[in-house]
Structure formats: structure tokens, C-alpha cells
Amino acid sequence: MDVVEAGGAPVARAIPKFKVVVIGAGQAGLSTAYHLTKLGLPRRDFLVLDQSPRAGGAWQFRWPSLTLSTVNRIHDLPGLSFAETVGAGAERVEAAVAVPEYFAEYERRFELPVVRPVQVKVVCQRSGRFRVETDRGEFAADGIVNATGTWETPFIPDYPGRELFRGRQLHTRDYRTADEFRGQRVVIVGGGISAIQLLDEISSVAETTWVTRRPVEFRDAPFDEAAGRAAVKRVEDRVRQGLPPTSVVSVTGLPLTPAIAAMQARGVLRRQPMFDEITPTGIRWADGRGQEADVLLWCTGFRSSLDHLAPLLLRGEAGGIRMGGRLATEVVADPRIHLVGYGPSASTIGANRAGATAARELLSTLGLLDH
């Protein structure tokens, strides 16, 4: 209870109580909220807390050149197709515009109880319930679905000399436009989809050096449903063992698209092995070779944004969280907690399926499912 003054006398203020609190309103959070309502949970009994200023999840912060023609496919949220919210010429629309509009319409269409902006500071246990402490007060919940994704936790490896570099360092999430690097020497670190996209853009206006920890595998064979299931299972097996998750793309390789083929033709994809140290003016490999640089662009991915769950002591000795349930969304140590958008569900289509499963399994655990 919080204590406030009313007429000179202390008065206890009840903390709002909900059956379920969903943290995050990206693809996974919205899918979960949709399925909670479809499974019969009244909207008054759950809440979706989102720290962003508007609908759209991490999409609203993506760089302007990421259009619907260059982004990976936007998978439909359950019950409403993406095509219904975009018109003719949509392929030229910025993803940071179109996807938030879609998410906003989705929230309106299904009257989802999303509250924003709300920053969740910490989740702990009090008197058999979860206490969700935020910058807009506290909430109590019987169950938690965490759907915070990774955008807020960019990862930059700590290489020797990084703090000595006199040029500019930035991460994928800081990127806006290639023009800001015009005429400069840019080292791009990373072998994922984002690294390739930014390398393509920046190499047209700047001198680029592409560095990855491992050789990049380009996949020219069709990536069918069976291959997709096998890739997701490899990530799922890790989290079921309590190991930190890897990205799905790290086990699938990159599709050999026409854009990538064009990059190969103009000699952009000359991959260099990972350097050993960073110097004040560039990078240096173990064999003594050096490369001068004005910019280090770290396209080195993200980590799951789970710091607010630290008081729940979910992580094991292996550094990950042991997951269970049908799609590995259920925390084994406490089935009242589900993580969606984590591990095998860290993709748009995976998030949809995870939201449905998490909603059903959590309501069953809480005794709120009629069958």
C-alpha cells in the first residue's frame, strides 16, 4: 500500500490488481493480448504496459530507408491482415510509418487495454502476487507475460582499445541515413541482415570495410517450412536447457536476394575476419595488418531486455532462463511467468504463435481457462 495525505490523515491507497499484466506492446505483446480476450479473459482483468510513446513497438525507431520493399515480411497479427491498413504503393512506405499505423489500428480494432508510455522499472513478488513497479505507479498481477523484445538492449562487444578510438562509434539502432557517412572510412561489424542492408547503403557513399566473426553463409536454396522448423528447434533446444538464446537467423543463413547478388557483383561483400584490437585511428588484426577508420558501426545485435525481472531470480548457472511449455514460453521455475519474443519466438511469425500459446498456458496455470 502507498500512503497519501487526505485531510491531514494518512490513507492507504490500494494497488490496482489484475489477473495478467503484459509488459510490451510489440508483435508478441499484442498477439498475447488478442488471445487473452479470445480465451475469455475480460479486458478489465488484464493490462498491457508499453514504454514507447505510441503504437508500433521497435518498428517506430527504425531508419527511414527501411521500407516495406526492403524489410523482411511483416507477418499479420491474428485477426487483422497488414494489407488492410496499407494502400497502393505501400512498398515505398517507411516501415517506421506503416507498421506503427498497423499496430495502432490493431489496438483500436480489438479494444486492447494498452497503457503508454509506462516504463516498468522492476517486477518482484509480494504476498503471493507479482508487484510491477513503474514510473506511473504500481500494479499487482497473478501472472506476467513479458514481451519486451530486444531493441532497448543493443549489444557491443568489448574489444581491446574500444575506449581509445577517436572516431565515431554507433550501433545499428543509432543508424538513420548513409549520407551522414559520405566520404568517410566506415568499418561495419556484423554478419546479420541489418549489417548487410547498412553495408549496401553506406558502401555507395563511403569507403567500407566489412568484418564478421564467422564466415557468412548465403542461402540460395529455398527456405521451406521444414527448414524453418529445424532452425527454430535449434534455438528452442537451447532455452529449454537454460542456455542463453541465439538468434534464429544465426542458424538459417542469409537468403541470396537480388540485392545481395548485386552487392556481390560490385565487390562490396569482401568479408574480413574479426580484428583483434581497436586503435585510436582504426582497427588492427593479429597479423599486424591495420585499417584506418573514421566510424565503427556495430551491427552486432541485441540482447533480451529482461533486467526488470532480475529480482525474480530466473536466470540459471548457464546464464539463460530454463523454458518449458509447448513453444518454450513458460518459465520452468515459475509457470506464472511467460516470455514471448524470447529465444525461438524472437521473430514476427514466432511471436504470433508464442502469444497464442502463452495466453492459453498462463490462463490454465491460473485456473482461468474453462476447459
What pLDDT, on the 0 to 100 scale, is given for residue 351? 79
9 & 128 share domain: yes
Please indicate, yes or no, if residue 227 is contained in any of the structural domains.
Answer: no
| 184 in a structural domain | yes
Q: What is the DSSP string of 325-368?
A: TTTT-EETT-TTEEESSSGGG-SHHHHHHHHHHHHHHHHHHTT-
Among the candidates 264, 298, 332, a domain finishes at 298
In this structure, what C-alpha cell is assigned to residue 178? 548513409
* Helix, strand, or coil (residue 188): strand
Task: Tell me the three state secondary structure of residue 273.
Answer: strand
- Using pLDDT thresholds of 50, 70 and 90, give the confidence band for residue 254: confident
Rounded-to-integer distance, Cα 194 and Cα 207, Å: 18
Is there a single domain that holds both residue 10 and residue 139?
yes
* Domain shared by 41 and 104, yes or no: yes
In the beta sheet, which residues pair with residue 302?
154
CB 187 within 8 A of CB 211: yes
Read off the pLDDT of residues 36-80 as tens digits, 9 standing for 90 and up.
999 999 999 999 999 999 988 877 777 777 766 554 556 788 888
Q: Can you give the CATH number for the domain in which 95 is found?
A: 3.50.50.60
Band (pLDDT 50/70/90 cuts) for residue 12 is: low
Query: Same structural domain for residues 290 and 312?
Result: no
**Residue 74 falls inside a structural domain:** yes
Are 173 and 202 in a shared domain?
A: yes
Non-local (6+) Cβ contacts of 342 within 8 A are 146, 239, 245, 304, 306, 321, 323, 329
| Residue 178: inside a domain | yes
Q: Helical H runs in 22-77?
A: 27-38
In this structure, the strands spanning 137-146 and 129-134 are antiparallel
| Per-residue pLDDT, 36 | 98
What is the tens place of the pLDDT at every residue in 103-156? Answer: 999 999 999 999 999 999 999 999 899 999 999 999 999 999 999 988 788 899
For residue 190, what pLDDT band results from cuts at 50, 70 and 90? very high
In angstroms, the CA 141 to CA 17 distance is 6
Per the model's pLDDT, the better-predicted residue between 87 and 130 turns out to be: 130
**What are the backbone dihedrals phi and psi of residue 53, each rounded to the nearest 5 degrees, phi first?**
-70, -20
Range of the domain at 85: 2-152+302-365
What is the reported pLDDT for 361? 98
Share of the chain above pLDDT 90, in %: 63
Number of other CB atoms surrounding residue 285 within 10 Å = 15
Dihedral angle, C-alpha 347, 350, 356, 361, nearest 10 °: -100
The pLDDT assigned to 120 comes to 97
Q: Determine the longest span between alpha carbons in the chain, in angstroms.
A: 77
123/177 same-domain check? no
* One domain, residues 44 and 178: no
The CA distance from 361 to 337, in Å, is 10
From residue 45, give the alpha-carbon distance in Å to each of 36, 92, 127.
10, 40, 19
Match 551491427 to its residue by C-alpha cell. Answer: 299
Domains contained in the chain, number: 2
Residues 356 and 275 both lie in one domain? no
User: Can you tell me the mean pLDDT for 184-210?
Assistant: 95
Inside any domain, residue 312: yes
Contact 248, 235 (CB under 8 A): yes
Pairing of strands 330-331, 129-134: unpaired
C-alpha cell of residue 172: 545499428
Task: Reduce the DSSP state of residue 114 to 3 states and report it.
Answer: strand
Same domain, 12 and 145: yes
For the four alpha carbons of 338, 344, 348 and 349, in that order, the dihedral sign comes to negative
Asked if residue 371 is part of any domain, the answer here is no
Determine the average pLDDT of the residues in 74-100.
Answer: 74
Q: Which helix (H) or strand (E) holds 102?
A: helix 95-109
Q: Measured between alpha carbons, how far is 178 from 202 in angstroms, rounded to an integer?
A: 5
Asked if residue 208 and residue 67 are part of one domain, the reply reads no
Count of Cβ atoms closer than 10 Å to residue 236 Cβ: 20
Domain end call among 272, 298, 324: 298
Are 145 and 7 contained in the same domain?
yes
Residue 236 lies in a domain: no
Identify whether residues 124 and 174 lie together within a single domain: no
In a domain, 44, yes or no: yes
Structure-block grid coordinates of residue 331 = 518459465
Give alpha helix (H) positions in the chain: 27-38, 95-109, 193-202, 225-240, 258-265, 348-365
Q: Which of 240, 271, 298 is the last residue of a domain?
A: 298
